[in-house]
Amino acid sequence: MKLLVIGSGGREHALVWKLAQSPHATQMWCAPGNAGIARERLARNALPVECVDIAAENLPQLLAFARENKIDLTVVGPDNPLALGIVDLFQRNGLRIWGPGQKAAQFESSKVFSQWFMERYGIPTARAGTFSEPAPAKAFAASLDGKCVVKADGLALGKGVLICGNIAEAEKAVDEIMVGKAFGAAGASVVIQEFLEGIEVSLHALCDGKTAKLFPTSQDHKRALDGDQGLNTGGMGTYSPAPFLNDAELKKVGDAILNPWLRGCAAEKIDFRGILYPGVMLTKNGPRVLEFNARFGDPETQVYLTRLENDLVELLDASVNGMLGRIELKWNPMASVCVVMASGGYPGNYAKGKPIYGLDETSRLSHVKVFHAGTALKDGHVVTNGGRVLGVTALGKDLKSAQAAAYAAVQKIQFEGAQYRRDIAAKAF
C-alpha cells in the first residue's frame, strides 16, 4: 500500500514510525515531514520515507500529489486540514483518506457546536452557556462569580481558552475575545464553562462511523514549567497508562461519554471516522468533558503508539471501511513516558537552527524512541526548527522505569537552550 501522512510534528513522526512497521506499507511519503521522519525506513522493503515540501494546509497541492502518486491511503495528523475539509475533498476525487470529514471535525473546530451536542445528547460536561454577544456572556460569567473558563468558538492554535478566577478577569476575557478579537473570527462566539477542579486525563477512541474503540488512559502536561507553572503549551510530555482510573472505571467513563456520543452522531448523521479525543476532568462529582478534539493528541500519540501492538495500517483501514467492530485493540502492558525537549523561550519567541547532538547515541538505546517534532536538516546535520523539538519516549516495565529511561535518554541529547520539564509522570506517584 502507498501511504501519505500529512503533518510535520511529533505526532506525525510517531504515526509514520508505526505505519512503517506494517508489512502492508510498500511506499510512504510525508508532507511536509521533518528530519526524523526522513530517516525512517519501511520494514517491508527498507525504502526510506520521503518528505515532500507541501504544507499541511495546501489542500490543492496535496490532492494533486496523492493523485499523481496513486496514494492508496492518506493519513491526516493535524486539525487544520481536517477543519478545512481535506477528507471531503479527497473523497470527492475518489481517494481514500483517514480522518473525520468537515462536518464531523466540528467537534474540534467549533466549541459552540460541541457544547450544544454534549448538552443535547446528555454527555457529562461542565455547566456552560454559549454566546454571540458580550453582555449576556458577562452576565453568565457573573452568575458563576467569575470562576469560569472563556473559550473562543473556533480554532485558535490551542490558545483561545482563558481561565478566570473573578468577575473582573472574566469580563476582560470576554472583551479580549469578542470585542478585541484577540483570536480573530474564532472569537465571534464563545463558550463559557464553570471552572472545574479535578484530575485531567486524555481519552482517545478510534472510530469508524458506528463503533468507538477506547484506548488506555494517558495524561498530558500542558504548562511549560515543573509543577504546572508557566505558560500553556502544546504539551510538554505525556505518559500512559495514567493510574487515576482502573480498567473497570475507564470502561465506565468511556461508556458514559461514548455511548451518548455515538447515539448523537447517528441522530445528527455525523459519520465520524478517525480519532475522537475528549479532554476529561475527573471531578468529585464524576467525569466531565471539557472539550473534544478530532485527531490524535500530540504528544499523546507518542506514548500510545509505542504501546500499541496492532498493525496501524490495518486499524486505520478498518476505521475508513467501517470494519472496526471486528478488531480488538492490543496494548503492550509496559508503561510509556514521553518527555518533550523544547527550544529555549518556548512557548514565547525562540531561535531556530541550533545543531542537535546525541541523536545517534540515543538511537542505539533499547526501548527508547526519539520522535522529532520541530527539526530540519541543515548541511546534513539535524537542527532545531520549532518550539517543541523532540519527544524522547521510553517504555519500561512500570511508569517509574519508563520515566527513568526517558530522562536517561534526555541527558544524552544536547542543543543550545534546550528546555524540558523534570516532572513528567510525577503526578502518577
CA dist., res. 131 & res. 134, Å (int)? 7
CA dist., res. 250 & res. 202, Å (int)? 11
Per-residue DSSP letter, 360: H
Nearest distance from C-beta of residue 186 to ligand AMP, angstroms: 12
CA dist., res. 12 & res. 78, Å (int)? 8
Nearest distance from C-beta of residue 290 to ligand AMP, angstroms: 4
**Residue 126 engages ligand AMP in binding (rule: CB under 6 A):** yes
Report which residue's Cβ sits closest to ligand AMP: 291
Q: Single out the segment in contact with ligand AMP by CB under 6 A; choices: 72-80, 189-197, 203-211, 347-355.
A: 189-197
Among 88, 145, 200, 271, binds ligand AMP (CB under 6 A): 200
Among 76, 141, 149, 392, binds ligand AMP (CB under 6 A): 149
Considering only residues 227 through 286, tell me which ones interact with ligand AMP, judged by CB under 6 A: 279
Nearest distance from C-beta of residue 300 to ligand AMP, angstroms: 12
Nearer to ligand AMP, 189 or 385 (CB): 189
Nearer to ligand AMP, 201 or 327 (CB): 201
Where helices occur in 85-222 by DSSP H, the ranges are 86-92, 106-109, 111-120, 134-143, 167-174
**Residue 177 engages ligand AMP in binding (rule: CB under 6 A):** no
Residue pair 70/2 in contact by the 8 Å Cβ criterion = yes
Q: Single out the segment in contact with ligand AMP by CB under 6 A; choices: 15-23, 50-58, 195-203, 406-414.
A: 195-203
Name residue 223's beta-bridge partners.
Answer: 232
Residue pair 394/337 in contact by the 8 Å Cβ criterion = yes
Phi, psi angle pair for 104, to nearest 5°? -70, -30
Nearest distance from C-beta of residue 204 to ligand AMP, angstroms: 14
Fill in the per-residue mask, 275 to 294: x = in contact with ligand AMP (CB under 6 A), - = not in contact: ----x----------xx---
Nearer to ligand AMP, 202 or 384 (CB): 202
Among 138, 151, 273, 295, binds ligand AMP (CB under 6 A): 151
Helices (H) and strands (E) in the chain, counts: 13, 23
Nearest distance from C-beta of residue 126 to ligand AMP, angstroms: 4
Nearer to ligand AMP, 125 or 384 (CB): 125
Considering only residues 366 through 395, tell me which ones interact with ligand AMP, judged by CB under 6 A: none
**Residue 308 engages ligand AMP in binding (rule: CB under 6 A):** no
Nearest to 36 by CA among 413, 415, 376, 406: 376
Write out the three cell numbers for 107: 467537534
| Positions of E strands within 145-244 | 148-152, 161-164, 190-194, 199-202, 205-208, 212-214, 219-220, 223-225, 229-232, 237-240
CA dist., res. 222 & res. 225, Å (int)? 9
**Residue 12 engages ligand AMP in binding (rule: CB under 6 A):** no
Chain residues binding ligand AMP by CB under 6 A are 126, 149, 151, 161, 193, 195-196, 200, 222, 279, 290-291
